[in-house]
């Protein structure tokens, strides 16, 4: 579904992504882990074209990423993204946050968008908060709204960049539970996270990055029990 081939990314002199090759199959859940600065966020951002690439190719559904215009807007709705910071619109209600994209980009009527949004808010457990504003919700609730908002665009793939790392510990699981549910329903997902419990439970493959490179790719049990490279061994020993 997502194919990343020979991708290089430079920020000026800095080589942020080095020869990245990665194919994400439909319904696959890929967890990306690695030290700070290893290029995990940059990789996510190149997949929905928030960041350009220096060379190489990224395709979604066999189509190369568009540079701009209507095709780029379509790509953005095919690729849902959830960030560490919840990025909700502060002056819109929870319901409006979820209906805005579908009305503007997918051309739904307000009534259609409201019905769909309420179903999604129900699913992530924040339907009672629909008429409140983001600041009136806990961090975990806001992040679940952010997930609902991304799902409202009917994406083909969801990218999560450390979705729980800004949350208080007691709220982490409520967000991870929603993500595990999505994975079980067969959503294609790329998840940057330090939550190894999620990786063990939901990931089909773990991608370990260091210094802008993919160093290791393995099934979770294999990766956690038997990391092959010194860099992965060192990283895991610091986590445990």
Which of ligand ATP, Mg ion, none does residue 11 bind to, with CB < 5 to 8 Å depending on kind? ligand ATP
Query: Is residue 140 within 8 Å of residue 174, measured between CB atoms?
Result: yes
191 binds, among ligand ATP, Mg ion, none (CB under 5 to 8 A by kind): none
Q: How far is the CB of 212 from Mg ion (least distance, A)?
A: 12
Q: How far is the CB of 97 from Mg ion (least distance, A)?
A: 23
Binding flags for ligand ATP, 145-184, as an x/- string (CB under 6 A): ----------------------------------------
Distance between CA atoms of residues 201 and 218, nearest Å: 14
Measured from the CB atom, the residue of 36 and 237 that comes closer to ligand ATP is 36
Contacts of 93 (CB under 8 A, 6+ apart): 130, 131, 132, 133
Helix axes 94-104, 139-151, angle to 10 degrees: 20
d(CA 124, CA 113): 16
Minimum distance of ligand ATP from residue 163's CB (angstroms):
12
Q: Report the number of secondary-structure helices (H) and strands (E) in the chain.
A: 9, 10
- Show the site string, 6-45: x = touches ligand ATP by CB under 6 A, - = not: -----x--x-x-----------------x-xxxxxxx---
Half-sphere exposure (Cβ direction) of 110: Cα atoms closer than 13 Å: 2
Question: Which residues of this protein are in contact with ligand ATP, per CB under 6 A?
Answer: 11, 14, 16, 34, 36-42
């Amino acid at each position: 579904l997502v194919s990343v081939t020979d991708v290089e990314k430079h920020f000026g002199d800095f080589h942020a992504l080095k020869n990245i090759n990665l194919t994400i199959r439909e319904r696959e859940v890929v967890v990306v882990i690695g030290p700070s600065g290893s290029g995990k966020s940059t990789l996510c951002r190149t997949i929905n074209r928030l960041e350009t690439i220096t060379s190489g190719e990224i395709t979604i559904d066999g189509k190369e990423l568009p540079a701009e215009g209507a095709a780029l807007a379509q790509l953005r709705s095919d690729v849902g993204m959830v960030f560490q910071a919840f990025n909700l619109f502060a002056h819109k209600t929870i319901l409006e946050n979820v209906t805005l994209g579908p009305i503007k980009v997918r051309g739904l009527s307000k009534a259609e968008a409201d019905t769909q949004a309420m179903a999604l808010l129900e699913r992530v457990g924040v339907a009672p908060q629909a008429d409140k504003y983001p600041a009136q919700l806990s961090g975990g609730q806001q992040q679940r709204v952010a997930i609902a908002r991304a799902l409202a665009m009917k994406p083909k793939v969801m990218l999560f960049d450390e979705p729980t790392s800004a949350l208080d510990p007691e709220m982490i699981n409520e967000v991870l539970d929603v993500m595990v549910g999505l994975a079980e329903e067969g959503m294609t997902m790329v998840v940057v996270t330090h939550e190894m419990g999620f990786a063990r439970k939901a990931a089909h493959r773990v991608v370990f990055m260091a210094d802008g490179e993919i160093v290791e790719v393995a099934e979770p049990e294999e990766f956690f029990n038997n990391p092959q490279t010194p860099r992965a061994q060192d990283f895991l020993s610091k986590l445990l």
